[in-house]
Structure formats: structure tokens, C-alpha cells
Amino acid sequence: MNHFTFVFRPSPAAALAACLFCAPAAQAQTITNSGALSFGAFVAGTGGSIVVAPSGGRSRTGGVMLVPQGGIATAAQFSVTGDAGATFAITLPADGTMVELTSGSNTMAVHGFSSSPAVQSLPPDRIVRGTLTGGSQPLSVGATLTVGPAQTPGSYTGSFAVTVHYE
């Protein structure tokens, strides 16, 4: 009967390198956009703001008059996919981030991004944390649009980005 005994005394650096090389590779997460954030149509009046909730519901403040026709209000739709059970952190535009809708030289500011699942960080950050159950997580994003008094009529467009971090 033969017995073989191996004695290893790896250095800390070697142990770290071995750990990094041997760790199972995580499936890269992806985030895709499938729907735009639309504030719909409205008459600016004396100005105010329009809030589109993550549910897609629209409300207003000030003298803005909402118009149901000519473009409905919708929340932006995203989908995060990756390993089931993986945790993630989605970063929305932080408060103070310049997000604008433009029509020629005219602009309107978009701020106060909200989401479902809800943001869990303190302002000014807007971070959503969660776990991928079943390997995917839908995300709805709403925001607030500031409308100036007698805002120049037109079709305003813009964009914003969200990032997902694998944790």
C-alpha cells in the first residue's frame, strides 16, 4: 500500500492568484430597453410640471393642461437578465444630472427619476438593488418634466441612460 503525502505552503500572493483564476465565471448581465419614457401631449399654459409614474400614470402641477390625444404617457421599460439569484444594482440618472428634451433650441428639463422596483438609495443617488429571480427583472422608470410658462410648442425628444452593476 502506497501513501503519498503532499505538503503545500503557498504564499499569500499565490493563493490570491489561484483564487482569481479558479473562481467560476459569472454570466454577464445585460440590460435592454423596450419602451420610451413619454410625457404625452399637453398645453403649457402658465407652466408647471408633469409627472409620469413608473406605472405609466400621468399627473401635473401648475397651469399645465394634459391632453390625452396626440401621444399617450408611458414609463420607460427595461429588462435586466443574468444568472438566477444574482444580485444587481441599477443606477438611474442622479438628481442634478442634466437630462433634457429638446426641440430645436428649446429645452425642457427631466429630473426626479423613479422606478418600479423602487429606488432604495438616498438622494442625490437613484439606485435600485435586487436579486434576479428566474434570471430576469423588469424595470419601469418614470420621471418629472418641468414645463416653462408658455413653453414653445413642438415635439421634444431626448434620452437618458441607466446602468446595471453585477454585485
Partner 1 sequence: MNRAACSARFIRPQGKLSLVLMAGFGLLSLGGLTADQVRAATASTRATVIAPASVMRSWADWPVTVSLSGGWVRLVIPAAAPPPLVSSLSNPLNDGDLVVRVTPSGDAAAADVRGEFATSLSLLAPQNDGRYRVTVAFN
Which span (19-27, 120-128, 129-137) binds partner 1, by CB under 8 A? Answer: 19-27
Locate 60 and state its grid cell: 401635473
Q: What are the distances in angstroms from CA 39 to CA 11, 34, 156?
A: 60, 16, 10
Whether residue 45 contacts residue 63, with contact meaning beta carbons closer than 8 Å, is answered with yes
Burial class from Cβ neighbours inside 10 Å (0-12, 13-18, 19+) for residue 130 reads middle
> With respect to partner 1, which residue has the nearer C-beta, 107 or 121?
107
Measured CA to CA, the distance from residue 152 to residue 140 in angstroms comes to 29
Q: Segment 33-62, which members bind partner 1 (CB under 8 A)?
A: 33, 35-45, 50, 58-61
Q: Which is nearer to partner 1, 94 or 99 (CB)?
A: 99
State which of positions 92-121 bind partner 1 (CB under 8 A): 99, 101, 103, 108, 110
Q: Does 84 bind partner 1 (CB under 8 A)?
A: no
- Distance, in Å, from the CA atom of 147 to the CA atom of 49, rounded to the nearest integer, reads 5
Does a cis peptide bond (omega within 30 degrees of 0) precede residue 117?
A: yes
Task: Compute the least distance from the CB of residue 132 to partner 1, in Å.
Answer: 13
Q: Between β-strands 127-131 and 99-103, what pairing exists: parallel, antiparallel or unpaired?
A: unpaired
The one segment of 115-123, 128-136, 151-159 that binds partner 1 by CB under 8 A? 151-159
Stretch that binds partner 1, among 2-10, 116-124, 125-133 (CB under 8 A): 2-10
| Listed ranges 5-13, 117-125, 130-138: which one lies at the site for partner 1 (CB under 8 A) | 5-13
Q: Smallest gap, in angstroms, from Cβ of residue 74 to partner 1?
A: 10
At 25 the three-state DSSP class reads: coil
Query: Smallest distance from the beta carbon of 36 to partner 1, in angstroms?
Result: 4
CA distance 58 to 71: 12
C-beta of 58: minimal distance to partner 1 in Å?
Answer: 7
